[in-house]
Amino acid sequence: MEEVAERLEQKVLSSGKIYIQMENTRFLPKGEKIEMKGLIWLQMPDKFRMDIFPPHQSITLLKEKQLLIYFPQDKVLQVVMLSKDPKLSQWLNFLQKPWEEIKRRGVIRSVEKEGILVEMDPKDLPELESLRIWIDQNLWFPTKIEMKEKNGELSVINYLKVEFGASFGVDMFELKLPPDVQVTEL
């Protein structure tokens, strides 16, 4: 497990900037399926942005100790102080530095066509029943994350394209808002 986490850490840190095309499919307990597609930009050590496309459009941006979540269709900005939401802070840290959580609570279950299957101990996340991650051995980066909640909901996040050493400007991590946006602090 240690070697997998170290190779993942080396890959991410040496890349500097990472661009990801993703899709998230949520299977709700009553059979409903919600599909979302989006983009993620990471810049080491602490910059993060995720844009989700319509119909569930949102822009999520890490700004120092705050997570900004903007809903353009509603012109609403939610500001979350990470110090007040340890679970969200932990999830954001996992997205930015997955090797830390993998070292701490991951167990290799198998090596499959999809990659190295790592099962995570969800003990710090009481709403989760299971958390599984597939790490591509060519990329040394997660390409699939599967989370099953105790209420029966299943979320499957697939990273469709991962570009290391990506080219994007620092303004990618700035949020340009219209003057009539409604700000809500959570």
Query: Residue 32's domain is classified under what CATH number?
Result: 2.50.20.10
Q: How far apart are CA 67 and CA 173, in angstroms?
A: 12
Residue range(s) defining the domain that contains residue 85: 2-185
pTM of the model: 0.90
- Choose between 166 and 96: higher pLDDT: 166
Q: How far apart are CA 78 and CA 151, in angstroms?
A: 26
Q: What is the mean pLDDT of residues 78-99?
A: 83
pLDDT at residue 82, as a whole number: 87
pLDDT at residue 40, as a whole number: 96
Contact 93, 102 (CB under 8 A): no
User: Which tens digit of pLDDT belongs to each residue from 177-186?
Assistant: 999 999 999 8
The residue type found at 26 is R
What is the tally of structural domains in the chain? 1
On the question of pLDDT at 111 being above 80, the answer is yes
